[in-house]
Structure 1
Amino acid sequence: MIMKKLLKINIVLIIGFCLTMTGCKDDFLVQDNPNAISPATFWNNIQDLNYGLNAVYDAFSNGNSYRLVDELARSDYSWANGWQRPNNTNIYYQQTFNEASDANRHKWANLYTTIFRANQVIAACEDLAGTHGSEDTEEDANLVLAQARWHRAYAYFNLHNHFNNGQVIIWDEVPTSETGYYKAVSSSQEVLDFYRADLEFAEANLPSTWLEDANDDSDLGRVTSGSAVALLGQSYLFDGDFATASTYFKRVIDNYGYALTPHPMSNMTTYDELNEESIIEIIYTLALIDGKSSASTANVNQLLTGKQGWWGGVASNWLIQEYRNDPLDFSDERNMVTLPDGSPGFRRYTLRTSYSVAIADDDDTPYYGFSKTGLGTNFNVKMTCFWRKHTNWDIGASEREVEGTDGTTISGVNERLLRLAEIYLNYAECQIELGNVDEAMLYINKVRRRAGAQLLGPAGSGEFPFNDHDNLTYDATSLREHLRHKEYPLELSCEGPGGDRSIDLRRWGIKKQRYQELAQREYVGTSFQMENDEGNLIWKWGALCDEVAIGDGDPDWAEFQEAAVNYNEALHAYWPLPAAEEIANPDLYNF
């Protein structure tokens, strides 16, 4: 069984083929080694199926399947390497990557590793069906099969959305000969149909929840029927079928017991993991179980943190402005604070802003043991904001000083790949495109209310008439613009399976235009004074990022100039197939 904190079990699953030795006449030279593990000898019972399934979950948890920081750089969310400001040579940020680049090579390889392992489990489940000796064990084996097919589908969901215009290789079986390792890519529609069939099987055969006993959480983190329905909805959304997508999203919303957490922090740190909002979540831990840890070793937290970090995924300036300018809901008591002079006042930033990113003048939120964000680290050399997501700002003095890390760059923060807030916003997008603006606003405002942000629409309207509203009237065009460039980024930036923003910009047909627009914006670093924990005023030089009008003053830097020039829809809308695959597979394009 999969523990609540996923164990990394080192299982060798051998599917290799035997190469006969030509010219040898002695029979014993071509006999199977009776002491070697082979597919025929390994897969015998439900325990073996679960061992194989653990290996599938292990591949699923590998950060190379998502390449979050590289995917951030490939979108408009990130400046990429912050230490190089105002210059930047990151090939993903500059849109100069190609088939030989590391990110797409590793992403491709690990997604196919997941498929490879899932196919072994699927084949074994099918071979052993009817041999388990009891109805309960047969049901358990079918649950293993459904999980394996879910994982195969999720790997293809990512391959289809990220590589080669959706034209990738379909593996539905385990190769048994040398020639069996060479296959051509299939059409985008064939890949889509293939993984949808897996998701439909998973939906029909997986439970909506694995937790049957409040005292037993050993199955938490397993994939569910609700997650299969959610992915089916996204598959239709990304394909432009808003009506069908909408029906799937509404089923997720209504039928599976998911709910928004009361506080944004529940979805950002080790606090409140596997909560009621979580739909797909990778489980990591620093705790040792049987001498092993399932901590994340992708170092994502070290790339994103502002405290002794590597500055590998710095938020883009336009996004910082959106976080800073998201208006407060002054009717929300969570936004009330006590000011330094003892008088009542309000937070500087929304709860969502404060718990998504670290901004130097956020005096209301602690950071790495300091009472105010600006005291927790230096905000200089144009480093004016860091993501809090994925980092341990709430439980350590630095990433290396969290209990259990022993000075290494690992993290126990779970990876939230999909949560209900995203489904709310996906559903809202469908409603906008279907002409149901009021329904779309209803779900956008559910997310904004949880965020502590001012709601959209006329004062006194909607589901929450007593909360603050912006008192604007929205039509499909204005609400679409808000959703694309405010609500999606503010709620979901720097999370998920990686690359969601690139998918969105591509399917909206605006990625080149987006880079060109952003390249025209200019920014300055602004200094300010703040009070430290000893009550003394200190200067934070250039610690805030402010946008200035073109031609107004002497800007410190801009962004996305290279991307605006280099981005080519044919070359960069998807990851190209890796050069290693093109070299190794002579049948790749024989379709």
Structure 2
Amino acid sequence: MKKIYICAAMMMAGIFSSCTDILDQSPLNSYTDSAIWGDLALSETFLNDQYNSVEAETQKGSRFASYTEEVYQMHKYGTESIQQGLLSPDQSNIGWDGSTWNPWSFYFKAIRNTNIFLENIGRVPATGEENIKWKNEQIGQAYFLRGFFYCQLYSLFGEVPLIKNSFGLNDDFTKQVRVPKDDVAEYIVSQCDSAAMYLPVKYSDDSDLGRATKGAALALKARTLLYAASPLFGTPSQAKWKKASDANKAVIDLKDESGAPAYYLQDVSTSEDYANLFIDSQNPEVIFEKLYNIQGEGAYNNSYLFQTPCGTGSGFNGWGNFQATQEIVDQFEMANGAPYVRGSEKENPYVNRDLRFAATIFTDGSTWGYRADEREVECFFGAEEGVPNGKDSRRGDSWWNGTQTGYYIRKFLDRNYDTYATDAPSTPYFMFRLAEFYLNYAECQIELGNTPEAVEYINKIRRRVHMPDITGDNIVAKYRHERQIELVFEGQRWFDIRRWMIIEDIYSKPVTGMIIWKHSDGSKTYELNPEPIEYRTFHAPKNYWLPIPRSELRKAPQLDPAPYQ
């Protein structure tokens, strides 16, 4: 009997990438094919492995936010291909893993695995109401995961092959070609609809936290249809925006078995309250989240390591790789709703801002540190002889990890995480949360000409953080601003500025930062860094999409490499 080291036909377009075991984790690598598909517990273990391919915003160390004006990524980790317009079939890899991660092969391998699951789950016996329910939930999760992986490919490559079954050595791959974007979106929606038929709104057992639910399926459908209605993905139409609107409203209106809203925005009073929303796996706003292994074996949340200020000996113990830019700092409004306007160099620019600001960005003077190690973040330079440079500045003791922009990123970090603990951070990453769907729905209403409804849903977001309501004038700009602030650093911005087709304007401006000087009397002055931190380059129209790797094009010459050659 054959072991389930399935490695067939590793030859076509990343769908069959390098010959590695599908299941490389205990206990499945010691089970036979018939054993896997003869036991619900083992089939679920096979399915669980596929959640490892649900890649979060950290995507192999290089965040999507790094490709926007929000973030300067100091140590790069493969970001240059996108940031500097260097993408081509010969330079298509991104990520930290030796800059060799490519989403084309990564997600097609994941799709192959879900295809195998769906082809074989019918063989698994299930008797009794509970086991039948368990089996159906597994089927629903597999449909969701296949749709999720295709949505990732759709958002990055646009037109992709639709591979709906696993392949054998003798199968004909030559008919597998890229299909139109509308057809890809339609297929993703079909997977979401199938998933929603099988999945519960909520699981009864807390151990199932992190599994796909009916809400996750509806959310994936809603995001896909929002993309499909946007300019980058085809010709926008009122019909497309209406479908997207209905799908996003379905997420908002979803009820649990008791008739209560499945999700809601949790009230906050302070910046700390808002910051804590992003470390709570039980946050009632969360629709689908990626959970991490606290032992640091395999996937774990690297936000703490990559975001935390350096400061040797301070207890921060971070690399400070992801740094907020002046461009995003300036977007946060004042607490009274007025746009931020830079004052004199002696005025502290970080006070009296939208409460989300302090919850999102470390500035000079922010407090951080675990218990006794808590202190102020020091991004300043000494202005006179005898005034030491700040510990977290690029002139401090850990200068190689010191901030280049004058800022670090606070969002997603747990103040109570012990930096000296042996366990890795277990902070979850939210793939879908309710605020996104309020904003998605508002965008649809704007496009459908229903400004009052759009304003109401934007203001629901603002009221949660005690910001004044907006009005309906200049609504597109106000909406895009609110979306950027609420979803900042969550990986949405790069996809937004691409689908709105405004990335060329964003990339035409350099990334900048702030220099803070500390004087001998303890006062500080704040001046914009006269030297840009980084320039970006964008070549339209081809850089709107990632290229298929050359190695995949050689294996599958029938694939159209456009817009690249």
Cα 1:261–1:588, aligned 2, differ >3 Å: closer, same or farther?
same
User: Aligned equivalents of 2:147 and 2:9: distance in 1?
Assistant: 30
Measured after TM superposition, the shift of residue 438 of structure 1 is 2.0
Post-superposition offset of 1:526: 3.5
3-state SS of the aligned residue for 1:158? helix
Q: What's the secondary structure of 1:261's corresponding residue?
A: coil
Q: Deviations over 1:296-328 (max 9, x none)?
A: 4463432222234434332232112123xx221
Structure 1 gap segments, 5+ residues each: 1-11, 20-34, 331-345, 458-472, 530-535, 547-554
Matched, 1:426 2:431: no
1:73-472 matches, cutoff 5 A: 73-81=66-74, 90-99=80-89, 100-103=91-94, 105-128=101-124, 131-163=125-157, 166-177=158-169, 179=171, 183-210=176-203, 212=204, 216-240=205-229, 241-256=240-255, 257-263=262-268, 265=273, 271-286=279-294, 296-297=299-300, 299-307=302-310, 308-323=317-332, 326-329=333-336, 348-362=352-366, 365-368=367-370, 369-374=373-378, 378-380=392-394, 382-392=404-414, 394-396=415-417, 400-401=419-420, 403-405=421-423, 410-452=424-466, 454-457=467-470
Contact 1:320-1:545 at 8 Å conserved across structures? no
Q: Give the percent of matched residue pairs that are identical in Structure 1 and Structure 2.
A: 23
Listed one character per residue, the Cα deviations across residues 503-532 of structure 1 (whole Å, up to 9, x for unaligned) are 21122121112322x34x876524256xxx
2: CA distance, partners of 1:419 / 1:111: 23
Alpha-carbon separation, structure 1, partners of 2:121 and 2:105: 24
**Greater Cα radius of gyration, structure 1 or 2:** 1
2:225 counterpart SS class: helix
In the aligned structure 2, how far is the partner of 1:205 from the partner of 1:89?
39
Give CA-to-partner distance per residue, 1:108-164, whole Å, 9 cap, x none.
232223212211211112344xx423343223211101101100100101100111x
Asked whether 1:15 is paired with 2:6, we answer yes
Amino acid at match of 2:503: K
**Alpha carbons of structure 1 residues 134 and 281: separation in structure 2 relative to 1, 3 Å:** same
SS at match of 1:103: coil
Residue of structure 2 equivalent to 1:6 = none
Shift of the 45–150 alpha-carbon distance from structure 1 to 2, 3 Å rule, reads same
The Cα shift of 1:91 comes to: 3.3
Do the aligned residues in 2 keep the contact of 1:274 with 1:281 (CA within 8 Å)? Answer: no
Correspondence for 2:314: none
Which amino acid is 1:261 matched to?
A: Q
Structure 1 residues 93, 269: closer, same or farther in 2, change over 3 A? Answer: farther
Q: 2:8 & 2:279 partners in 1: Cα distance? A: 47
Q: 1:490 to 1:377 in 2, by over 3 A?
A: farther
In structure 2, the residue matched to 1:334 is: none
* 2:564 paired with 1:575: no
Q: TM-score, normalised by structure 1?
A: 0.72
> How many pairs does the alignment contain?
478
Deviation at 1:373, TM superposition (A): 4.2
**What is the alpha-carbon distance in structure 2 between the residues aligned to residue 229 and residue 276 of structure 1?**
16
- Aligned AA for 1:172? K
Query: Tell me, what secondary structure is at the counterpart of 2:208?
Result: coil
User: Residues 196 and 217 of structure 2 are in contact (CA less than 8 Å); yes or no, is this contact kept in structure 1?
Assistant: yes
CA displacement at 1:559 relative to structure 2: 5.6
Change (3 A) 1:388 1:181: farther
The answer as to whether partners of 1:269 and 1:413 remain within 8 angstroms in 2 is no
The runs of 5 or more residues in structure 2 that have no matched partner are 11-28, 96-100, 230-239, 256-261, 311-316, 338-349, 380-389, 395-402
Code of the residue aligned with 2:153 in structure 1: it is L
Q: Which residue of 2 aligns with 1:474?
A: 472
Counterpart of 1:47, as a letter, is A
Q: What's 2:485 paired with?
A: 490
Change (3 A) 1:367 1:385: farther
Q: Which amino acid aligns with 1:315?
A: A
Q: TM-score, normalised by structure 2?
A: 0.75
1:228 partner letter: A
**Does the CA-based 8 Å contact 1:260-1:277 persist in structure 2?**
yes
Partner of 1:465: none
8 A Cα contact 1:525 1:545, kept in partner: yes
In structure 2, what is the Cα distance between the partners aligned to 1:18 and 1:352? 50
5 Å-filtered alignment, 1:31-50, equals 39-40=33-34, 42-50=36-44
> Tell me, what secondary structure is at the counterpart of 1:79?
strand
Tell me if structure 2 keeps the 8 A contact 1:269–1:389: no
- Cα 1:367–1:378 change in 2 (3 A) is same
Aligned-residue offset at 1:356: 1.3
Residues 385-417 of structure 1, C-alpha deviation per residue, up to 9 Å, x if partnerless? 11112434x0246xx42x333xxxx43111111
Q: Give the superposed CA RMSD.
A: 3.4
Distance 1:229 1:204, change over 3 A: same
Equivalent position SS for 2:108: helix
Report the Cα distance in structure 2 between the residues aligned to 1:301 and 1:357, rounded to whole angstroms: 13
Three-state SS of the structure 1 residue aligned to 2:498 is helix
Letter in 1 for 2:484: P
- 1:395 aligned partner, one-letter code: N
Deviation at 1:61, TM superposition (A): 5.2
Task: Tell me if 1:584 matches 2:555.
Answer: yes
Distance 1:228 1:528 in 2: 52
Structure 2: how far apart are the matches of 1:111 and 1:202? 19
Using the TM superposition, give the Cα deviation of residue 261 of structure 1 relative to its aligned residue in structure 2, in angstroms.
1.9
Deviates more, 1:243-252 or 1:74-83: 74-83
Alignment CA distance shift 1:528-1:321 (3 Å): farther
- What residue is the counterpart of 1:462 in the other structure? none
Could you tell me whether the CA contact under 8 Å between 2:161 and 2:178 is conserved in 1? yes
In structure 2, C-alpha distance between the alignment counterparts of 1:40 and 1:285, rounded to whole Å: 30
2:465 and 2:193 map into 1 onto residues whose CA distance is 33
Cα distance in 1 for partners of 2:69, 2:322 equals 12
Distance in 1 of aligned mates of 2:228 and 2:534: 28
For the 8 Å contact 1:303–1:309, the answer to whether it is kept is yes
